Amino acid sequence: MANQSMQWGERELNVSRAEKYRTRRRFDIDVSRFWILGLLFSALVFAFEYFIDIPADAAWLQEMEMALFSASFTLLAFYLLGLTFVFSRQEEAGKVNHQVIIYVWLGAILFHLFLLINNVSNQHVYKAGIILFLGPLFLTIYHFITYLSALREARRENQLATAASYARMAYQIILEATKVHGEIKRLKSEYPEVEQMLKANDFYNKMERFILEMQQYLQVEKFERKDIELLEGHFYFLENMLTLAKQHPGVKESRLFAHREEHSI
């Protein structure tokens, strides 16, 4: 018991370490993505501010603001639809605060609306409008990247957990089937009547073939549901053979069982 407790403690410790490693790795990846997008956004802001000139009296400024206003409104609508879809599936919307992104989009829309209503002749104001469009756009892209990454990681963990559960079930079935097969062989060696019954009904060859197929599954690395169903079918067949062997009239255990039944009645 002490050794088993120590083994379980070591397994829990290993699982805890693996979980901490995966959590730290996901955090590092999210931080790396955030810094990459942040640096790209900063480079675009720097380029718009110092290397791009916007004529204050250009005729297409109002058209540009109308396009930015429409694009901001449309992207906010798609973002809200995406959040509705995520929440309807009862999934996490990612580690980014979606309310902040919504407020930033609303601020950008109001700013573009202000520029459409008022004829401002200052290129820095229009540059600010472009930056206010790119800011929530980058945040939205980062949010959906983190969400898809978390969703992919969750699915991978579920698949690993399912595979581990199938493997545990398969090994447990093979272990129990081996014990049942050993008990049948013991009865067969002690009682010739059992061996005659198994061979007469062609159960013996089928039983040996089934146990051989089950033992071959010990070399399988990944189990599927169909493998578990096949192993369960073979195991139930072996259990039925053991029940038939113990119920044979020539078996002493069967006679003792029948004797106890008569006295109990």
- Residues 6 or more apart whose Cβ sits within 8 Å of residue 71: 133
Provide the CB-side half-sphere exposure for 212 (13 A, CA): 6
172, 114 in Cβ contact below 8 A?
Answer: no
- Closest to 149 in 3D by CA, of 36, 24, 27, 39: 27
The helix-helix angle for 192-200 and 123-190 (nearest 10°) equals 120
Provide the pLDDT for residue 264: 46
Query: What pLDDT, in 10s, does the model give residues 197-252?
Result: 888 878 888 889 999 999 899 888 889 999 999 999 999 999 998 888 888 776 66
Q: Which two tokens stand for residue 255?
A: 């006679």
Helix (H) or strand (E) holding 59: none
Task: Please state, in angstroms and as integers, the Cα–Cα distance from residue 228 to each residue in 34, 179, 233, following that order.
Answer: 44, 18, 9
Burial of residue 69 (number of CB atoms within 10 Å: 0-12, 13-18, 19+): buried
Provide the pLDDT for residue 18: 52
Provide the pLDDT for residue 212: 92
Provide the pLDDT for residue 170: 92
Provide the pLDDT for residue 81: 87
Cα dihedral 229/235/240/242 (nearest 10): 180
Provide the pLDDT for residue 257: 42
CA–CA gap between residue 71 and residue 189 (Å, rounded)? 83
| Helices and strands (H and E) in the chain: how many | 8, 0
| Residue owning tokens 């062989």 | 185
Provide the pLDDT for residue 90: 55
Q: Which two tokens stand for residue 236?
A: 């139930």
pTM of the model: 0.59
CA–CA gap between residue 207 and residue 181 (Å, rounded)? 8
Q: Which two tokens stand for residue 242?
A: 């053991």
69, 108 in Cβ contact below 8 A?
Answer: no
> Residue 71: how many CB atoms within 10 A of its CB?
15
CA–CA gap between residue 265 and residue 263 (Å, rounded)? 5
- Domain ranges for the chain: 2-161, 163-264
Provide the pLDDT for residue 178: 92
104, 39 in Cβ contact below 8 A?
Answer: no
Q: Which residues of the chain have pLDDT under 50?
A: 1-15, 255-265
